[in-house]
Amino acid sequence: MALQKILTVTGTAVHIPGDDIDTDRIIPARFLKCVTFDDLGQYAFWDERFTSEGTPKPHPLNAPEHQAANILITGSNFGCGSSREHAPQALYRHGIRVIVAESYAEIFFGNSITLGMPCISLERESLRKLTELVDSDPTAKLTIDVVSCKIAVGGDKTFQGSLPEHARNALIEGNWDPISELLDGVALVKKVAERLPYFHA
């Protein structure tokens, strides 16, 4: 099954400030009982967005100007804590297609890449400047070039980010889902199996 090549992503951004935002904040543990990931998007940052009665709190994801945002900007060590796959799944199903941060927890990063969701790293000072631009103009259009790892804002501001080469190649070549790669190889596996006598003993 051919996967989409993730070359560029364009859209608006939402800034969720803070370092060391862990996966329990991204998706509280009580929502991990789901059978599929399909409906997880509504629960992203639930405890920070709603009271126990379900009343909305002030939060970037609740702000009207960010309802269509598909780029998440945050701090360092994003996605730390538990290795739950539900965290990137919740963000992806909420509509996020790219994350920009100073750094990421390793397992969260890997789980995000297998969703086709680039996690671009940006040096702290550049991240501060990008955040200021987004905070001052929520309608600003950002374009993330995954090939060059550059982030363009409004056509006149550009920031150079980074992405590990293995992840960058997987995204731009359309090889970001290992399960899909395994399924693509089923026919070849069967062909090899036919030549092995102990499969027919």
pLDDT block averages, 10 residues each, the chain of length 201: 87 98 96 88 96 95 97 98 94 98 98 96 97 95 97 92 96 83 70 79 57
The reported pTM is 0.88
- The answer to whether the beta carbons of residues 43 and 30 sit under 8 Å apart is no
Spell out the SS3 assignment of 116-152. Answer: CCCEEECCHHHHHHHHHHHHHCCCCCEEEECCCCEEE
Q: Residue 98: name the closest of 7, 195, 194, 33 by CA.
A: 7
In this structure, the dihedral spanned by the alpha carbons of residues 63, 142, 175 and 82, taken in order and rounded to 10 degrees, is: -40
Range of the domain at 31: 8-176
Specify the pLDDT at position 88: 97
Q: CATH no. for residue 66?
A: 3.20.19.10
Specify the pLDDT at position 200: 67
First to last CA, the chain: 32
Specify the pLDDT at position 183: 64
* 188 within domain boundaries: no
Specify the pLDDT at position 71: 98
Using CA atoms, how far apart are residues 48 and 56, in angstroms rounded to an integer? 9
* 3 within domain boundaries: no
* 168 within domain boundaries: yes
* 95 within domain boundaries: yes
Sheet with 150-153: list strands edge to edge.
8-11, 142-145, 150-153, 157-160
- Angle ∠(94,179,173) on CA atoms, nearest 5: 80
* 197 within domain boundaries: no
* 190 within domain boundaries: no
Specify the pLDDT at position 56: 96
Specify the pLDDT at position 190: 77
Strands 142-145 and 150-153: antiparallel
Q: Residue 14: name the closest of 48, 59, 44 by CA.
A: 59
- The answer to whether the beta carbons of residues 18 and 77 sit under 8 Å apart is no
* 94 within domain boundaries: yes
Indicate the number of domains in the chain. Answer: 1
